[in-house]
Amino acid sequence: MKRPVAIISSAALVLVALIVAVSNPSLVGAASESTSSEADNSLVRSHSPILGPDDAPVTIVEFFDPACEACRAFYPLTKKILNTYPDQVRLVVRYTPFHGEVSETAIRVLQAARLQGVFEPVLEALLARQNQWAAHGNFDEAAILEIASQAGLDSAKAQEQLDSPEVQAVFEQDKKDVKANQIRQTPTFFINGEQLDPFGMQELVDAVQREVEALSEAGGGS
């Protein structure tokens, strides 16, 4: 990445910048804002399914595995949060295939459902009947497609989409973002870019409420 051309004045400017950064660490944050914003992009991609309004000021990002029992247990809570704050909160789903082949197939089906405009009903159907296709590690691809088709998925079209370059690109990008964000368990939540820590159902409710109230106070003015 170095250029072979060495200009003394440019080198001097770089040296001064380094000295300023070391002597005044408070300036480093401002200088690294672009890097930080690039990192934040790994939380939300343009292909990511969104439940709730696209322009909601509070964003919950969930790293989610459809075969994960804890993800299934959290879904009614995230849906309740969305219903409680219908204009203020959105949920962004990031695919996280921690349960191997069964997760990968379900994720591809969900992405096909997103392309067909039936993501939410297919998601809810797969979670409601998770024990039929992912119980104790059992892998039943036919059951996944059958459940999804009953929820509105065009299975014939989905067969063409499951291994399409578009779906494969989404799958690969989300795997990279899982690694980049050091996700080690599902679900993992981020609220407006901050990871939920400590983790828990009430903690998620409280964190979202704090964000909504802070925005309300800021917008309420004097």
Average confidence (pLDDT) over 155-161: 95
> What are all long-range contacts of 82-85, with beta carbons under 8 Å and residues at least 24 apart?
82/51, 82/52, 85/56, 85/58, 85/208, 85/212
Residue 165 backbone phi and psi in degrees, to 5: -55, -35
What percent of the chain clears pLDDT 90, i.e. is strictly above it?
74
Question: Residue 212 pLDDT > 80, yes or no?
Answer: yes
Q: Which of the two residues, 221 and 102, has the higher pLDDT score?
A: 102
Which amino acid is present at 76? Answer: P
Question: Residue 28 pLDDT > 90, yes or no?
Answer: no
Q: Are 189 and 61 in contact (CB under 8 A)?
A: yes
- pLDDT mean across residues, the chain: 84
Q: Are 132 and 147 in contact (CB under 8 A)?
A: yes
3-state SS class at 63: strand
pTM metric for this prediction: 0.79
Q: Are 20 and 38 in contact (CB under 8 A)?
A: no
Average confidence (pLDDT) over 160-185: 95
CA atoms within 13 A on the CB side of 222: 0
Structural domains of the chain sorted by starting position, each given as residue range(s) with its CATH number in brackets:
50-220 (3.40.30.10)
Average confidence (pLDDT) over 41-52: 93
Average confidence (pLDDT) over 212-218: 89
* Tens of pLDDT, residues 47-95: 999 999 999 999 999 999 999 999 999 999 999 999 999 999 999 999 9
Query: To the nearest 10°, the Cα dihedral for 153, 157, 159, 164?
Result: -110
* Tens of pLDDT, residues 98-137: 999 999 999 999 999 999 999 999 999 999 999 999 977 6
